[in-house]
Amino acid sequence: MTSPRASSCHVEWLRFEPDSPVTGLLREQPHVAYRVDDVESAIEGHNVLAEPFDPTGRGDNFLRVAFVEVDGAVVELMQYGNPDEEGWF
């Protein structure tokens, strides 16, 4: 994964090693990301590709994300612990 802050267009690239356990749409398709107030509520009713997790590995409440499928598209849902957090961009 790359940092969107390092890209002039604010693009985050997900690149997977050959032995990565990530499979299916999440590995094969690009995605869009949306900020949500409650990631648990936001995934309800969707095909969940990745349950909510902490992508930072920090173990604090900074960020939780989940990936869902919406009409065949991959969507990342991002919940920041601090609603005033500027986020990636």
Could you read off the pLDDT of 55-81 as tens digits, one per residue? Answer: 888 888 899 999 999 999 999 999 999
Give the pLDDT score at 83: 86
> Which is higher by pLDDT, 34 or 8?
34
- In terms of C-beta density within 10 A (0-12 exposed, 13-18 middle, 19 or more buried), how is residue 39 classed? buried
Copy the structure tokens of residue 4. 């969107």
Q: What is the pTM of this model?
A: 0.85
> Which is higher by pLDDT, 88 or 67?
67
DSSP 3-state assignment of 40? helix
Which residues, in sequence order, are CB contacts of 60 under 8 Å at separation 6+? 54, 81
Q: Sorting pLDDT into bands at 50, 70 and 90, what band is 8? A: confident
Is the distance from CB of 52 to CB of 67 less than 8 angstroms?
A: no
